[in-house]
A and B are shown apart, each in its own frame.
Chain A
Amino acid sequence: MCGIFGVMDKRRQMMDGSGIRQALSMMNERGSGEGAGYAAYGIYPDYQDCYALHVFFDNARDGKAVVDATLEQWGTVEHNEAIPTYDQPNLRATCTPWRYFFRPDPSLAPGSASPEKDIITSLVMQINAGSNGAQVISSGKNVGVFKAGGWPEDVADYYRIEDYEGYIWLAHNRYTTNNPGKWERPDPFNLHDWSVVENGKITSYGTNRRYIESFGYTCSMSTDSEIITYLIDLLVRRHGLDINLAIRALSPPFWEDIDLMPKAEQDLNRALRLAYGSATMNGPFTVVAANPDMMVGFTDRGKLRPMVVGECGDRLYISSEEAAIRAMEPGVESITTPAAGEPVIGRVAP
Protein backbone atom coordinates (compact mmCIF):
# COMPACT_ATOMS: atom_id res chain seq x y z
CA MET A 1 0.00 0.00 0.00
CA CYS A 2 1.28 3.43 -0.93
CA GLY A 3 -0.40 6.75 -1.64
CA ILE A 4 0.10 8.43 -4.99
CA PHE A 5 -1.15 11.70 -6.39
CA GLY A 6 -0.80 13.62 -9.63
CA VAL A 7 -2.14 16.96 -10.81
CA MET A 8 -1.77 18.65 -14.17
CA ASP A 9 -2.88 22.04 -15.46
CA LYS A 10 -3.79 21.73 -19.13
CA ARG A 11 -2.93 25.37 -19.80
CA ARG A 12 0.37 25.30 -17.93
CA GLN A 13 -0.89 27.55 -15.16
CA MET A 14 1.50 27.22 -12.29
CA MET A 15 0.76 25.67 -8.90
CA ASP A 16 3.13 25.98 -5.99
CA GLY A 17 3.91 22.86 -3.98
CA SER A 18 1.74 23.68 -0.96
CA GLY A 19 -1.40 22.14 -2.48
CA ILE A 20 0.12 18.78 -3.30
CA ARG A 21 1.81 18.69 0.10
CA GLN A 22 -1.63 18.96 1.68
CA ALA A 23 -3.12 16.39 -0.71
CA LEU A 24 -0.43 13.81 -0.03
CA SER A 25 -0.61 14.30 3.72
CA MET A 26 -4.30 13.24 3.55
CA MET A 27 -2.96 9.79 2.73
CA ASN A 28 -0.38 9.45 5.52
CA GLU A 29 -2.05 6.18 6.51
CA ARG A 30 -0.95 4.72 3.18
CA GLY A 31 2.73 5.22 4.05
CA SER A 32 5.10 4.19 6.81
CA GLY A 33 7.06 7.39 7.32
CA GLU A 34 10.13 6.00 5.62
CA GLY A 35 9.88 7.67 2.24
CA ALA A 36 8.02 10.29 0.27
CA GLY A 37 8.74 12.38 -2.77
CA TYR A 38 7.52 14.99 -5.22
CA ALA A 39 8.19 15.69 -8.90
CA ALA A 40 7.35 18.96 -10.60
CA TYR A 41 7.44 20.14 -14.22
CA GLY A 42 8.07 23.78 -15.06
CA ILE A 43 10.10 24.69 -11.96
CA TYR A 44 13.28 25.88 -13.68
CA PRO A 45 12.21 28.48 -16.29
CA ASP A 46 15.61 30.23 -16.09
CA TYR A 47 17.33 27.05 -17.23
CA GLN A 48 14.56 25.53 -19.34
CA ASP A 49 16.93 24.51 -22.15
CA CYS A 50 19.26 22.66 -19.79
CA TYR A 51 18.81 19.19 -18.35
CA ALA A 52 18.38 19.65 -14.63
CA LEU A 53 20.24 16.85 -12.85
CA HIS A 54 19.23 16.31 -9.23
CA VAL A 55 21.94 14.27 -7.55
CA PHE A 56 22.24 12.76 -4.06
CA PHE A 57 25.85 12.73 -2.83
CA ASP A 58 26.69 10.47 0.09
CA ASN A 59 29.46 12.94 0.67
CA ALA A 60 29.50 16.04 -1.54
CA ARG A 61 33.26 16.53 -1.25
CA ASP A 62 34.24 13.11 -2.59
CA GLY A 63 31.35 12.21 -4.90
CA LYS A 64 31.04 15.51 -6.68
CA ALA A 65 34.43 15.40 -8.39
CA VAL A 66 33.46 12.15 -10.16
CA VAL A 67 30.15 13.57 -11.38
CA ASP A 68 31.74 16.89 -12.43
CA ALA A 69 34.32 15.05 -14.51
CA THR A 70 31.73 12.75 -16.10
CA LEU A 71 29.47 15.64 -17.06
CA GLU A 72 32.29 17.72 -18.52
CA GLN A 73 33.18 14.79 -20.73
CA TRP A 74 29.69 14.80 -22.28
CA GLY A 75 28.73 18.48 -22.40
CA THR A 76 28.69 21.75 -20.49
CA VAL A 77 27.55 22.46 -16.95
CA GLU A 78 25.86 25.88 -17.07
CA HIS A 79 25.38 26.12 -13.33
CA ASN A 80 25.44 23.91 -10.27
CA GLU A 81 24.57 24.36 -6.63
CA ALA A 82 23.37 22.60 -3.52
CA ILE A 83 19.58 22.20 -3.50
CA PRO A 84 18.33 24.42 -0.65
CA THR A 85 17.16 22.30 2.28
CA TYR A 86 15.77 23.13 5.70
CA ASP A 87 16.41 20.84 8.66
CA GLN A 88 13.37 19.00 9.99
CA PRO A 89 13.30 17.48 13.47
CA ASN A 90 11.98 14.14 12.20
CA LEU A 91 14.24 13.82 9.19
CA ARG A 92 17.82 12.62 9.42
CA ALA A 93 19.71 13.67 6.31
CA THR A 94 21.85 10.86 4.94
CA CYS A 95 23.04 12.62 1.79
CA THR A 96 23.49 16.03 0.19
CA PRO A 97 21.02 16.94 -2.60
CA TRP A 98 22.69 18.84 -5.45
CA ARG A 99 21.56 20.14 -8.83
CA TYR A 100 23.35 20.67 -12.13
CA PHE A 101 22.00 22.51 -15.16
CA PHE A 102 23.64 20.64 -17.98
CA ARG A 103 23.82 20.87 -21.78
CA PRO A 104 24.82 17.57 -23.38
CA ASP A 105 26.82 17.81 -26.61
CA PRO A 106 24.66 16.09 -29.25
CA SER A 107 27.63 15.58 -31.58
CA LEU A 108 28.87 12.95 -29.12
CA ALA A 109 25.94 10.65 -29.93
CA PRO A 110 26.05 10.45 -33.74
CA GLY A 111 23.32 8.46 -35.45
CA SER A 112 20.85 8.81 -32.60
CA ALA A 113 17.33 10.10 -33.22
CA SER A 114 17.39 11.80 -29.81
CA PRO A 115 21.09 12.30 -29.07
CA GLU A 116 20.68 14.51 -25.99
CA LYS A 117 18.36 12.03 -24.31
CA ASP A 118 20.60 9.11 -25.21
CA ILE A 119 23.52 10.90 -23.59
CA ILE A 120 21.48 11.70 -20.48
CA THR A 121 20.22 8.11 -20.32
CA SER A 122 23.69 6.61 -20.42
CA LEU A 123 25.10 9.24 -18.03
CA VAL A 124 22.40 8.55 -15.45
CA MET A 125 22.91 4.79 -15.67
CA GLN A 126 26.68 5.09 -15.53
CA ILE A 127 26.63 7.30 -12.44
CA ASN A 128 23.90 5.33 -10.66
CA ALA A 129 25.47 1.92 -11.29
CA GLY A 130 28.92 3.07 -10.17
CA SER A 131 30.01 2.90 -6.54
CA ASN A 132 30.87 6.59 -6.43
CA GLY A 133 28.53 7.79 -3.69
CA ALA A 134 26.34 9.63 -6.21
CA GLN A 135 22.78 8.89 -7.38
CA VAL A 136 21.04 10.90 -10.09
CA ILE A 137 17.40 11.12 -9.04
CA SER A 138 16.08 13.31 -11.84
CA SER A 139 17.47 14.41 -15.14
CA GLY A 140 14.90 16.23 -17.28
CA LYS A 141 14.51 19.70 -18.71
CA ASN A 142 12.62 22.06 -16.41
CA VAL A 143 11.72 19.20 -14.04
CA GLY A 144 12.96 18.14 -10.63
CA VAL A 145 12.40 15.35 -8.12
CA PHE A 146 12.52 16.06 -4.38
CA LYS A 147 12.47 13.02 -2.13
CA ALA A 148 13.75 11.71 1.18
CA GLY A 149 13.15 9.12 3.87
CA GLY A 150 10.33 10.55 5.98
CA TRP A 151 6.66 11.48 6.16
CA PRO A 152 5.22 13.53 3.26
CA GLU A 153 5.03 16.81 5.21
CA ASP A 154 8.57 16.51 6.53
CA VAL A 155 9.95 15.80 3.07
CA ALA A 156 7.98 18.73 1.60
CA ASP A 157 9.21 21.06 4.34
CA TYR A 158 12.80 19.80 4.04
CA TYR A 159 12.85 21.08 0.44
CA ARG A 160 10.23 23.81 0.98
CA ILE A 161 8.40 22.62 -2.10
CA GLU A 162 5.97 25.53 -1.70
CA ASP A 163 8.82 27.65 -3.09
CA TYR A 164 8.60 25.82 -6.45
CA GLU A 165 5.95 26.41 -9.09
CA GLY A 166 5.03 23.73 -11.63
CA TYR A 167 2.20 22.88 -14.02
CA ILE A 168 2.44 19.13 -13.37
CA TRP A 169 3.10 17.67 -9.93
CA LEU A 170 3.43 14.01 -8.93
CA ALA A 171 3.71 12.84 -5.35
CA HIS A 172 4.27 9.56 -3.59
CA ASN A 173 3.94 8.40 0.00
CA ARG A 174 5.83 5.17 0.39
CA TYR A 175 4.89 2.11 2.40
CA THR A 176 8.30 0.47 2.53
CA THR A 177 8.01 -3.27 2.17
CA ASN A 178 10.96 -5.14 0.83
CA ASN A 179 14.05 -3.00 0.55
CA PRO A 180 15.83 -0.50 2.75
CA GLY A 181 14.40 2.99 3.01
CA LYS A 182 17.27 4.78 1.33
CA TRP A 183 16.64 8.32 0.18
CA GLU A 184 16.92 7.54 -3.53
CA ARG A 185 14.40 4.68 -3.29
CA PRO A 186 11.01 6.37 -2.82
CA ASP A 187 9.14 7.42 -5.95
CA PRO A 188 8.98 9.54 -8.02
CA PHE A 189 11.54 7.96 -10.27
CA ASN A 190 12.61 10.12 -13.19
CA LEU A 191 14.60 9.73 -16.40
CA HIS A 192 14.74 12.95 -18.47
CA ASP A 193 11.17 13.41 -19.82
CA TRP A 194 9.35 10.78 -17.74
CA SER A 195 8.56 10.68 -14.05
CA VAL A 196 6.68 7.79 -12.44
CA VAL A 197 4.92 7.16 -9.15
CA GLU A 198 3.51 3.74 -8.37
CA ASN A 199 1.29 2.18 -5.71
CA GLY A 200 1.72 -1.56 -5.87
CA LYS A 201 4.05 -4.43 -6.41
CA ILE A 202 5.08 -5.65 -9.84
CA THR A 203 5.29 -9.42 -9.48
CA SER A 204 6.77 -9.69 -12.97
CA TYR A 205 9.71 -7.51 -11.84
CA GLY A 206 12.35 -10.10 -12.84
CA THR A 207 10.95 -10.68 -16.32
CA ASN A 208 10.46 -6.95 -16.93
CA ARG A 209 13.94 -6.14 -15.66
CA ARG A 210 15.65 -8.74 -17.85
CA TYR A 211 13.65 -7.43 -20.80
CA ILE A 212 14.54 -3.77 -20.26
CA GLU A 213 18.19 -4.56 -19.54
CA SER A 214 18.38 -6.36 -22.90
CA PHE A 215 17.87 -2.91 -24.46
CA GLY A 216 20.85 -1.45 -22.61
CA TYR A 217 19.12 0.02 -19.56
CA THR A 218 20.91 -0.62 -16.27
CA CYS A 219 18.70 -1.02 -13.22
CA SER A 220 20.32 -0.07 -9.94
CA MET A 221 17.46 0.95 -7.61
CA SER A 222 15.60 -2.39 -7.21
CA THR A 223 12.31 -0.49 -7.43
CA ASP A 224 9.28 -1.02 -9.65
CA SER A 225 9.14 2.60 -10.71
CA GLU A 226 12.66 2.42 -12.17
CA ILE A 227 11.56 -0.46 -14.43
CA ILE A 228 8.30 1.27 -15.35
CA THR A 229 10.09 4.51 -16.29
CA TYR A 230 12.56 2.67 -18.51
CA LEU A 231 9.76 0.63 -20.13
CA ILE A 232 7.82 3.80 -20.97
CA ASP A 233 10.99 5.47 -22.30
CA LEU A 234 11.73 2.43 -24.47
CA LEU A 235 8.22 2.06 -25.86
CA VAL A 236 7.41 5.74 -26.37
CA ARG A 237 10.74 7.39 -27.23
CA ARG A 238 12.73 4.59 -28.82
CA HIS A 239 9.97 2.46 -30.36
CA GLY A 240 7.74 5.43 -31.19
CA LEU A 241 4.54 3.95 -29.73
CA ASP A 242 1.65 6.26 -29.00
CA ILE A 243 1.14 6.50 -25.22
CA ASN A 244 -2.19 4.64 -25.53
CA LEU A 245 -0.51 1.68 -27.16
CA ALA A 246 2.40 1.79 -24.74
CA ILE A 247 0.05 1.55 -21.75
CA ARG A 248 -1.86 -1.22 -23.47
CA ALA A 249 1.42 -3.11 -23.93
CA LEU A 250 2.30 -2.70 -20.24
CA SER A 251 -1.19 -3.50 -18.91
CA PRO A 252 -2.92 -5.41 -21.73
CA PRO A 253 -6.42 -6.87 -21.72
CA PHE A 254 -6.75 -10.54 -20.72
CA TRP A 255 -6.74 -13.02 -23.62
CA GLU A 256 -10.40 -13.90 -22.96
CA ASP A 257 -11.32 -10.21 -23.26
CA ILE A 258 -9.35 -9.91 -26.50
CA ASP A 259 -11.36 -12.86 -27.88
CA LEU A 260 -14.53 -10.78 -27.55
CA MET A 261 -13.21 -7.74 -29.48
CA PRO A 262 -13.97 -6.88 -33.12
CA LYS A 263 -11.50 -8.46 -35.56
CA ALA A 264 -9.25 -5.43 -36.19
CA GLU A 265 -8.96 -4.67 -32.48
CA GLN A 266 -8.24 -8.34 -31.76
CA ASP A 267 -5.40 -8.34 -34.26
CA LEU A 268 -3.87 -5.19 -32.80
CA ASN A 269 -4.09 -6.45 -29.22
CA ARG A 270 -2.72 -9.89 -30.11
CA ALA A 271 0.20 -8.28 -31.93
CA LEU A 272 0.93 -6.01 -28.97
CA ARG A 273 0.79 -8.86 -26.46
CA LEU A 274 3.04 -11.04 -28.59
CA ALA A 275 5.55 -8.26 -29.30
CA TYR A 276 5.67 -6.98 -25.73
CA GLY A 277 4.95 -10.13 -23.68
CA SER A 278 8.02 -9.56 -21.54
CA ALA A 279 7.09 -5.92 -20.93
CA THR A 280 3.64 -6.87 -19.58
CA MET A 281 3.44 -5.92 -15.94
CA ASN A 282 1.73 -8.32 -13.58
CA GLY A 283 0.68 -7.90 -9.98
CA PRO A 284 -1.24 -5.16 -8.24
CA PHE A 285 -0.42 -1.62 -9.29
CA THR A 286 -1.61 1.87 -10.04
CA VAL A 287 0.85 4.02 -11.96
CA VAL A 288 0.80 7.75 -12.57
CA ALA A 289 3.40 8.98 -15.05
CA ALA A 290 4.13 12.36 -16.56
CA ASN A 291 6.29 13.98 -19.17
CA PRO A 292 6.40 17.70 -20.08
CA ASP A 293 3.30 17.31 -22.30
CA MET A 294 1.03 14.90 -20.46
CA MET A 295 0.04 13.06 -17.34
CA VAL A 296 -1.28 9.48 -17.51
CA GLY A 297 -2.67 7.01 -15.00
CA PHE A 298 -3.44 3.30 -15.31
CA THR A 299 -4.03 0.27 -13.13
CA ASP A 300 -3.40 -3.46 -13.32
CA ARG A 301 -5.98 -5.52 -15.20
CA GLY A 302 -7.40 -7.06 -12.04
CA LYS A 303 -7.74 -3.61 -10.42
CA LEU A 304 -6.02 -4.53 -7.19
CA ARG A 305 -5.11 -0.93 -6.37
CA PRO A 306 -7.35 2.15 -6.28
CA MET A 307 -7.34 5.04 -8.74
CA VAL A 308 -9.66 8.03 -8.50
CA VAL A 309 -9.75 10.74 -11.15
CA GLY A 310 -10.90 14.30 -10.57
CA GLU A 311 -11.45 17.11 -13.05
CA CYS A 312 -11.99 20.78 -12.36
CA GLY A 313 -11.59 23.44 -15.04
CA ASP A 314 -8.12 22.98 -16.56
CA ARG A 315 -6.96 20.71 -13.78
CA LEU A 316 -6.74 16.92 -13.98
CA TYR A 317 -6.17 14.96 -10.76
CA ILE A 318 -5.27 11.29 -10.33
CA SER A 319 -5.13 9.95 -6.79
CA SER A 320 -5.28 6.86 -4.60
CA GLU A 321 -8.14 8.46 -2.67
CA GLU A 322 -10.89 10.96 -3.40
CA ALA A 323 -10.34 12.89 -0.16
CA ALA A 324 -6.83 13.87 -1.28
CA ILE A 325 -8.26 15.44 -4.45
CA ARG A 326 -10.87 17.32 -2.43
CA ALA A 327 -8.18 18.54 -0.05
CA MET A 328 -6.50 20.32 -2.95
CA GLU A 329 -9.64 21.13 -4.96
CA PRO A 330 -12.67 21.40 -2.64
CA GLY A 331 -14.95 22.34 -5.54
CA VAL A 332 -13.90 19.47 -7.81
CA GLU A 333 -16.48 19.14 -10.59
CA SER A 334 -16.14 15.50 -11.54
CA ILE A 335 -14.95 12.40 -9.68
CA THR A 336 -14.65 9.11 -11.58
CA THR A 337 -13.05 5.71 -11.08
CA PRO A 338 -11.86 4.34 -14.43
CA ALA A 339 -12.07 0.62 -15.10
CA ALA A 340 -9.09 -1.72 -14.74
CA GLY A 341 -6.40 -1.17 -17.34
CA GLU A 342 -8.32 1.78 -18.83
CA PRO A 343 -5.78 4.58 -19.18
CA VAL A 344 -6.47 8.15 -18.16
CA ILE A 345 -4.53 10.50 -20.38
CA GLY A 346 -4.41 14.24 -19.90
CA ARG A 347 -2.48 16.35 -22.39
CA VAL A 348 -1.15 19.85 -21.91
CA ALA A 349 -2.46 22.27 -24.53
CA PRO A 350 0.20 22.78 -27.22
Chain B
Amino acid sequence: MTNSVTIDAEGMHYTPLNRQIREAVEDGVSEVVVKGVLGQRFIGNGLRGDATIHVYGVPGGDLAMFMSGPTVIVHGNAEHAPGNTMDSGKVVIHGSAGDAVAHSMRGGKVFVRGNIGYRGGIHMKQYETQRPILVVGGSAQTFLGEYMAGGLLVVLDLDGTMKARGIGSGIHGGEIIIRGDVDDASLAAGAKKVPLTDEDRARIAPVIREFAGDFGLDPEPLVSADYTRIVPASARPFAGKYTWE
Protein backbone atom coordinates (compact mmCIF):
# COMPACT_ATOMS: atom_id res chain seq x y z
CA MET B 1 0.00 0.00 0.00
CA THR B 2 1.29 3.43 -0.91
CA ASN B 3 1.14 6.01 1.81
CA SER B 4 1.88 9.46 0.54
CA VAL B 5 2.80 12.79 2.12
CA THR B 6 2.71 16.16 0.37
CA ILE B 7 5.00 19.01 1.42
CA ASP B 8 4.55 22.57 0.19
CA ALA B 9 8.10 23.89 -0.13
CA GLU B 10 7.24 27.38 -1.35
CA GLY B 11 9.51 29.91 0.31
CA MET B 12 10.99 27.26 2.62
CA HIS B 13 14.72 27.04 3.35
CA TYR B 14 16.35 23.76 2.41
CA THR B 15 17.22 22.77 5.98
CA PRO B 16 13.65 22.40 7.31
CA LEU B 17 12.52 21.02 3.93
CA ASN B 18 15.11 18.25 3.96
CA ARG B 19 14.34 17.53 7.61
CA GLN B 20 10.66 17.04 6.74
CA ILE B 21 11.49 14.73 3.84
CA ARG B 22 13.88 12.70 6.00
CA GLU B 23 11.36 12.39 8.83
CA ALA B 24 8.62 11.28 6.43
CA VAL B 25 10.84 8.56 4.97
CA GLU B 26 11.95 7.44 8.43
CA ASP B 27 8.26 7.20 9.42
CA GLY B 28 7.78 4.68 6.62
CA VAL B 29 6.11 6.95 4.05
CA SER B 30 6.67 5.45 0.61
CA GLU B 31 5.86 8.52 -1.51
CA VAL B 32 6.81 12.10 -0.68
CA VAL B 33 5.46 14.78 -3.03
CA VAL B 34 7.29 18.09 -2.70
CA LYS B 35 5.54 21.00 -4.42
CA GLY B 36 6.63 24.56 -5.09
CA VAL B 37 10.34 23.76 -5.05
CA LEU B 38 12.59 26.63 -6.11
CA GLY B 39 16.32 26.47 -5.59
CA GLN B 40 16.31 24.36 -2.40
CA ARG B 41 19.61 22.51 -2.33
CA PHE B 42 20.60 19.03 -1.18
CA ILE B 43 17.13 17.45 -1.60
CA GLY B 44 17.37 13.75 -0.76
CA ASN B 45 20.91 14.09 0.56
CA GLY B 46 22.16 10.95 2.29
CA LEU B 47 18.61 9.61 2.24
CA ARG B 48 18.26 5.84 2.73
CA GLY B 49 15.42 3.44 2.07
CA ASP B 50 13.22 2.83 -0.96
CA ALA B 51 10.80 5.77 -0.92
CA THR B 52 9.97 7.81 -4.02
CA ILE B 53 10.34 11.61 -3.81
CA HIS B 54 8.48 13.66 -6.42
CA VAL B 55 9.95 17.14 -6.81
CA TYR B 56 7.82 19.76 -8.60
CA GLY B 57 9.80 22.85 -9.61
CA VAL B 58 13.50 23.55 -9.97
CA PRO B 59 15.54 22.07 -7.10
CA GLY B 60 18.91 23.55 -6.18
CA GLY B 61 22.32 21.97 -6.60
CA ASP B 62 23.64 18.62 -5.36
CA LEU B 63 20.28 16.87 -5.52
CA ALA B 64 20.43 13.31 -4.08
CA MET B 65 24.04 13.65 -2.99
CA PHE B 66 25.22 10.51 -1.13
CA MET B 67 21.69 9.10 -1.55
CA SER B 68 21.40 5.37 -0.95
CA GLY B 69 18.28 3.67 -2.22
CA PRO B 70 15.38 6.09 -2.85
CA THR B 71 14.07 7.35 -6.19
CA VAL B 72 13.90 11.10 -6.82
CA ILE B 73 11.77 12.26 -9.75
CA VAL B 74 12.19 15.90 -10.75
CA HIS B 75 9.34 17.42 -12.75
CA GLY B 76 11.40 20.33 -14.01
CA ASN B 77 15.04 21.27 -14.53
CA ALA B 78 17.80 20.58 -12.03
CA GLU B 79 20.85 22.71 -11.25
CA HIS B 80 24.47 21.59 -10.83
CA ALA B 81 25.64 18.12 -9.82
CA PRO B 82 22.48 16.04 -9.30
CA GLY B 83 23.57 12.55 -8.21
CA ASN B 84 26.81 13.86 -6.69
CA THR B 85 28.60 10.87 -5.10
CA MET B 86 25.29 9.00 -5.10
CA ASP B 87 25.52 5.48 -3.73
CA SER B 88 22.40 3.72 -5.01
CA GLY B 89 18.82 4.49 -6.02
CA LYS B 90 17.63 6.54 -8.95
CA VAL B 91 17.25 10.15 -10.05
CA VAL B 92 14.87 10.90 -12.95
CA ILE B 93 14.95 14.47 -14.28
CA HIS B 94 12.24 15.42 -16.76
CA GLY B 95 13.96 18.67 -17.75
CA SER B 96 17.64 19.55 -18.21
CA ALA B 97 20.43 19.74 -15.67
CA GLY B 98 23.47 21.92 -15.07
CA ASP B 99 27.19 21.23 -14.97
CA ALA B 100 28.89 18.23 -13.32
CA VAL B 101 25.86 15.92 -13.44
CA ALA B 102 26.54 12.63 -11.58
CA HIS B 103 29.76 14.06 -10.19
CA SER B 104 31.80 11.23 -8.56
CA MET B 105 28.75 8.98 -8.67
CA ARG B 106 29.48 5.51 -7.32
CA GLY B 107 26.23 3.60 -7.84
CA GLY B 108 22.59 3.83 -8.91
CA LYS B 109 21.09 5.58 -11.93
CA VAL B 110 20.68 9.18 -13.07
CA PHE B 111 18.35 9.68 -16.06
CA VAL B 112 18.07 13.15 -17.61
CA ARG B 113 15.49 13.62 -20.35
CA GLY B 114 16.88 16.96 -21.56
CA ASN B 115 20.44 18.26 -21.87
CA ILE B 116 23.25 18.35 -19.37
CA GLY B 117 25.98 20.96 -18.96
CA TYR B 118 29.76 20.69 -18.88
CA ARG B 119 31.69 17.85 -17.21
CA GLY B 120 28.79 15.39 -17.11
CA GLY B 121 29.79 12.20 -15.33
CA ILE B 122 33.03 13.70 -14.04
CA HIS B 123 34.93 11.06 -12.09
CA MET B 124 32.15 8.46 -12.01
CA LYS B 125 33.61 5.32 -10.49
CA GLN B 126 32.85 1.66 -9.90
CA TYR B 127 33.77 -1.04 -7.42
CA GLU B 128 32.75 -4.69 -7.57
CA THR B 129 28.94 -4.68 -7.90
CA GLN B 130 28.63 -0.89 -7.64
CA ARG B 131 28.32 0.40 -11.20
CA PRO B 132 26.71 3.83 -11.67
CA ILE B 133 24.71 4.63 -14.81
CA LEU B 134 24.09 8.09 -16.28
CA VAL B 135 21.78 8.36 -19.30
CA VAL B 136 21.14 11.67 -21.06
CA GLY B 137 18.30 12.02 -23.56
CA GLY B 138 19.46 15.30 -25.08
CA SER B 139 22.97 16.58 -25.58
CA ALA B 140 25.97 16.74 -23.28
CA GLN B 141 28.64 19.42 -23.21
CA THR B 142 32.42 19.49 -23.35
CA PHE B 143 34.56 17.42 -20.93
CA LEU B 144 31.91 14.69 -20.84
CA GLY B 145 33.20 11.85 -18.66
CA GLU B 146 36.21 13.81 -17.45
CA TYR B 147 38.53 11.68 -15.25
CA MET B 148 35.94 8.93 -15.50
CA ALA B 149 37.02 5.93 -13.44
CA GLY B 150 34.09 3.57 -13.91
CA GLY B 151 30.44 3.15 -14.68
CA LEU B 152 28.34 3.63 -17.80
CA LEU B 153 27.52 6.96 -19.42
CA VAL B 154 25.05 7.00 -22.33
CA VAL B 155 24.12 10.07 -24.38
CA LEU B 156 21.21 9.61 -26.77
CA ASP B 157 21.45 13.09 -28.36
CA LEU B 158 17.80 12.89 -29.38
CA ASP B 159 17.81 16.41 -30.85
CA GLY B 160 21.09 15.94 -32.70
CA THR B 161 22.60 19.07 -31.14
CA MET B 162 25.58 17.54 -29.35
CA LYS B 163 28.74 19.61 -29.75
CA ALA B 164 30.78 18.25 -26.85
CA ARG B 165 34.54 18.28 -27.23
CA GLY B 166 37.27 16.98 -24.98
CA ILE B 167 35.22 13.81 -24.41
CA GLY B 168 36.74 11.44 -21.88
CA SER B 169 39.57 13.73 -20.84
CA GLY B 170 41.64 11.64 -18.44
CA ILE B 171 39.25 8.67 -18.61
CA HIS B 172 40.82 5.58 -16.99
CA GLY B 173 37.81 3.34 -16.37
CA GLY B 174 34.20 2.85 -17.42
CA GLU B 175 32.65 3.53 -20.81
CA ILE B 176 30.93 6.38 -22.67
CA ILE B 177 28.35 5.39 -25.30
CA ILE B 178 27.03 8.09 -27.61
CA ARG B 179 24.32 7.64 -30.21
CA GLY B 180 25.61 8.38 -33.70
CA ASP B 181 29.15 9.01 -34.84
CA VAL B 182 31.64 11.02 -32.82
CA ASP B 183 34.34 12.99 -34.60
CA ASP B 184 37.89 11.95 -33.60
CA ALA B 185 38.68 15.60 -32.90
CA SER B 186 36.04 15.60 -30.15
CA LEU B 187 37.88 12.96 -28.14
CA ALA B 188 40.35 14.04 -25.50
CA ALA B 189 43.79 12.51 -25.12
CA GLY B 190 43.44 9.25 -23.23
CA ALA B 191 40.09 8.30 -24.77
CA LYS B 192 39.63 5.98 -27.76
CA LYS B 193 36.72 4.85 -29.90
CA VAL B 194 35.94 1.16 -30.25
CA PRO B 195 33.11 -0.57 -32.13
CA LEU B 196 29.93 -1.37 -30.20
CA THR B 197 29.74 -5.17 -30.19
CA ASP B 198 26.55 -7.23 -30.05
CA GLU B 199 27.39 -8.05 -26.44
CA ASP B 200 27.71 -4.34 -25.67
CA ARG B 201 24.35 -3.66 -27.27
CA ALA B 202 22.71 -6.46 -25.33
CA ARG B 203 24.21 -5.03 -22.15
CA ILE B 204 22.91 -1.47 -22.69
CA ALA B 205 19.50 -2.48 -24.14
CA PRO B 206 17.81 -2.91 -20.71
CA VAL B 207 19.14 0.48 -19.61
CA ILE B 208 17.79 2.18 -22.75
CA ARG B 209 14.44 0.41 -22.39
CA GLU B 210 14.17 1.56 -18.78
CA PHE B 211 15.04 5.14 -19.79
CA ALA B 212 12.49 5.10 -22.63
CA GLY B 213 9.87 3.71 -20.25
CA ASP B 214 10.45 6.47 -17.71
CA PHE B 215 9.96 9.18 -20.31
CA GLY B 216 7.36 7.59 -22.59
CA LEU B 217 9.70 7.14 -25.57
CA ASP B 218 9.61 4.35 -28.15
CA PRO B 219 12.55 2.18 -27.04
CA GLU B 220 13.19 -0.04 -30.07
CA PRO B 221 14.63 2.59 -32.49
CA LEU B 222 16.98 3.63 -29.67
CA VAL B 223 18.02 0.09 -28.86
CA SER B 224 18.86 -0.64 -32.50
CA ALA B 225 20.50 2.73 -33.30
CA ASP B 226 24.18 3.19 -34.18
CA TYR B 227 26.39 4.04 -31.23
CA THR B 228 29.98 5.09 -30.68
CA ARG B 229 31.66 3.49 -27.69
CA ILE B 230 34.47 5.40 -25.98
CA VAL B 231 36.78 3.73 -23.51
CA PRO B 232 40.12 4.50 -21.85
CA ALA B 233 43.17 4.17 -24.08
CA SER B 234 45.11 3.13 -20.99
CA ALA B 235 44.58 2.68 -17.27
CA ARG B 236 46.98 5.54 -16.54
CA PRO B 237 46.36 8.33 -19.08
CA PHE B 238 48.60 10.85 -17.34
CA ALA B 239 51.39 8.45 -16.42
CA GLY B 240 53.89 10.52 -18.38
CA LYS B 241 52.46 13.87 -17.42
CA TYR B 242 52.78 13.98 -13.67
CA THR B 243 55.28 11.19 -12.92
CA TRP B 244 58.55 10.10 -14.43
CA GLU B 245 59.64 6.52 -14.16
Contacts and interface: CB of A to CB of B under 8 A. Distances in A.
Contact of B39 (A257, A327, A340): A327
A29 interface: yes
A322 interface: yes
B6 to A, nearest CB: 20
Interface in B18-69: 38-39, 41, 58, 60-61
B79 A323 contact: yes
A339 interface: yes
Contacts, number: 50
Nearest to B116: A337
A200 interface: no
Interface in B152-203: 163, 165, 185
Given A323-B79, A339-B142, 10 more contacts: A26-B38, A26-B39, A29-B41, A303-B117, A303-B118, A306-B80, A308-B98, A322-B77, A337-B115, A337-B117
B170 to A, nearest CB: 13
A323 B58 contact: yes
Contacts of B98: 306, 308, 322, 337
A327 B10 CA distance: 11
Interface string B55-95: 00010110000000000000001011000000000000000
A236 interface: no
Nearest to B79: A321
B79 A322 contact: yes
Nearest to B164: A339
Contacts of B126: none
Interface string A301-319: 0110010100000000000
Contacts of B61: 321
Contacts of B39: 26-27, 321, 323-324, 326-327
A349 interface: no
Interface residues of B, number: 22
B38 A326 contact: yes
Nearest to A335: B77
B141 interface: yes
B144 to A, nearest CB: 12
Main secondary structure of the interface of B (DSSP, over half): loop
Contact of A260 (B41, B119, B163, B185): B185
B159 to A, nearest CB: 13
Contacts of A340: 118, 142
Given A321-B60, A323-B58, A323-B79, A306 B99 contact: yes
A234 B123 CA distance: 41
A326 B56 CA distance: 14
Contacts of B77: 322, 335
B82 to A, nearest CB: 13
Interface in A290-305: 302-303
A72 B242 CA distance: 60
A324 B61 CA distance: 12
B92 to A, nearest CB: 18
A324 B41 CA distance: 13
Interface string A327-345: 1000000010101100000
Interface in A209-236: none
A323 B143 CA distance: 25
Nearest to A30: B61
Interface string A85-118: 0000000000000000000000000000000000
Contacts of B143: 302-303
A17 to B, nearest CB: 20
Nearest to B61: A321
Interface string B96-109: 10110000000000
Given A306-B98, A321-B60, A321-B79, A327 B118 contact: no
Task: Give the most central of A27, A322, A324: most B CB within 10 Å.
Answer: A322
A303 B141 contact: yes
Contacts of B41: 29
Contact of B38 (A302, A323, A335): A323
Contacts of B163: 339
A87 to B, nearest CB: 25
A303 B60 CA distance: 19
A306 B117 contact: yes
